[in-house]
Structure 1
Amino acid sequence: MRLALSTLGTPGVPLTGSVGLARRFGLDGLELRLHPDTGVHAGLDTAERAAAARTLGGLPAFCLSGYVRVCEPGDDGPVIAALRADLRLARDLGAEFVRVFPGGTDLAAGARRLAAVATEGPKVLVETHDALPTGAAVAALLERAPHAGAIWDLLHPWRHGEEPAETLRQLGGRLACVQIKDAASATCTTPVPLGTGAVPLAAARRLLDGFEGWVSLEWERTWYPDIAPVEDILPGALDWIAGRT
């Protein structure tokens, strides 16, 4: 497993700060949230993209986490255009993956939109989130979209009643990234330090023994500004990766 930091954990911190934090803790890469407050988004011009690549300095931005919702209602055109914009940025920054949300339950629309970019690269990953929160739900979409993969956010399948073993079985070889986090309960999703909440992190770690993909610490201080800084949480993530928790 390779450990990355999601820039969700550093709201308002420029890319230089996230890179410095990753290097300080010996992380393998970054999951870059595409948003103006991180300084990385599809609206960057050519010079700004080159500057972002220089700032990364060889540190992999393995995934660009965009907010395209591939199964949302409406015309395909705007969704495909937004997804293509994120993919162009990913190519410019050397990212392996682009994250999308389901955003709805129209699996046929999601499959059409994913098929439209299937040969353009990088690979699109659908996160267990919002309208398709479980491994089973995402797997149903991926059955129609064989070129796409999956991100397993440990919180959402569990809080919707799907056990980790079942999530992993459903996603199988399509799984490229696991987002780790902890929360007090299935109904109170305020982040807490890893291992102090109710998310079955230990069970997930046992299941992922031998997993060769990416693990990303998603510490959502952007939406929960009163929680501890991510620097306090990263040691626990490193312990989780090493199997010490």
Structure 2
Amino acid sequence: MKLAFSTLGVPGLPVPEVVELATAHGYHGVELRAHPEEPVHPGLGRADRERVAETFRSAGVEILAVSGYAHAAGPGPDEPVVAELRELTALAADLGARYVRVFPGGGDSPPAEADATAARRLAVAGPYAAERTVRLLLETHDSHRTGAAVARVLNAAGPVDAGAVWDVMHPWLGGEEPADTLAALASRLGYVQLKDIASAEDTTPLPLGAGVLPIAEVVELLSRSGWDGWLSWEYERRWYPQAAPLPDLLGPARDHLMRLLSDAA
């Protein structure tokens, strides 16, 4: 498996410094948070996109995903959401990223309605992504926190090549066992987001292995299933400024993951 980390842990950090962190600590790739407050976002011009892509390419670091904030199941008309998905897809294609992360964002909508809305929008935006060798991935998050919930949407979207991001925290908070999450998503799994927290009541990010999330179990399940994709550490310091700075934790986190992978082999 390959290892990545999310720039959510180092908000606003210039691209060259992100690449330097990846190379210095042995990470194969990076999830780029695509928000206007970040150096990389859909408003970036062509020349700047080319510079970002070349900076990563010349360092041998892959841009795993563009992590957008489109809400596939959100209320309102479809077209603004589909347009946002297309903008994120175009950014990912220009950067050479293989995935676009998508949130459900169904809010208080009845589950069946939220499922149908998200499936419809993914079905419309998916072909645009496929033409650009990019895949839309719906994350286990908010209104669809379990693998079963995300699988419902993907199944309803039909033959479009959309997939899933397994954020290990949200299915756990939703009471879904890791084996059940994997069973629900295995055939559509793009990559896995790892993180750690103190408890269900305190989701302040902790160093990997220092909290309660079943990271070792997830890695073992993935290894035993023969899955050989990406593990990405999402350290949510953007929302928890009191958390320890990410750069000091990147090396120990990589070592921890390598031990888990070795134990699971």
User: Does the TM-score normalized on the shorter chain lie above 0.5?
Assistant: yes
Residue 163 of structure 1 and its aligned partner are, at CA, apart by 1.1
| Amino acid paired to 2:117 | A
Aligned to 1:86: 88
Checking the alignment, whether the CA contact within 8 Å between 1:13 and 1:37 is kept in structure 2 is: no
Q: State the match for 2:253 in structure 1.
A: 237
Alignment of 1:19-58 (within 5 A): 19-58=19-58
Deviation at 1:38? 2.4
Normalising by structure 1, we get a TM-score of 0.95
Aligned length: 245
Q: Which amino acid aligns with 1:23?
A: T
Equivalent in the alignment of 1:179: 193
TM-superposed CA distance for 1:181, in Å, is: 0.5
Q: What letter is aligned with 1:114?
A: L
- Asked if the contact 2:207/2:253 (under 8 Å) is kept, the reply is no
TM-score (norm 2): 0.89
**Greater share of helix residues, 1 or 2?**
2
1:80 Cα offset (Å):
0.4
1:232, distance to aligned residue in structure 2 (A): 2.7
Matches of 2:219 and 2:89, distance apart in 1: 31
* Mapped partners of 1:235, 1:23: distance in 2: 11
The match for 1:123 is 135
Question: Paired residue for 2:148?
Answer: 136
CA deviation string 1:93-145 (max 9, x = no partner): 01100000000041111111111122222110000001000011101101112
TM-aligned CA deviation for residue 87 of structure 1: 0.5
Unaligned 5+ segments in structure 2 are: none
- Residue 28 of structure 2 aligns with an amino acid whose one-letter code is D
Q: Percent identity?
A: 51
State the Cα distance separating 1:12 from its structure 2 match.
1.9
In structure 1, C-alpha distance between the alignment counterparts of 2:156 and 2:128, rounded to whole Å:
18
Q: Is the 8 A contact 2:169 2:213 kept in 1?
A: yes
**Runs (5+) with no aligned partner, structure 1:** none
Task: Report the 3-state secondary structure (helix = DSSP H, G, I; strand = E; otherwise coil) of the residue aligned with 2:126.
Answer: coil
Q: Equivalent residue of 2:136, what SS?
A: strand
RMSD of aligned alpha carbons: 1.4
1:67-113 deviation digits (Å, cap 9, x = unpaired) = 00001111011000011000011110011000000000411111111
Task: Give the match's secondary structure for 2:102.
Answer: strand
The answer on whether the counterparts of 1:205 and 1:240 sit within 8 Å (CA) in structure 2 is no
- Runs of 4+ aligned structure 1 residues displaced above 4 Å come to none
Return the alpha-carbon distance in structure 1 between the equivalents of residues 45 and 214 of structure 2: 42
Q: C-alpha deviations, 1:31-87, integer Å up to 9, x for none?
A: 000013321000111122112112223421111000000011110110000110000
Contact 1:3 1:216 in 2 (8 A): yes
Contact 2:26 2:254 in 1 (8 A): no
Match of 2:243 in 1: 227
Equivalent positions of 1:135-154 (< 5 A) are 135-145=147-157, 146=159, 147-154=161-168
Distance 2:119 2:94 in 1: 25
Counterpart of 1:190?
204
User: 1: CA distance between counterparts of 2:196 and 2:135?
Assistant: 27
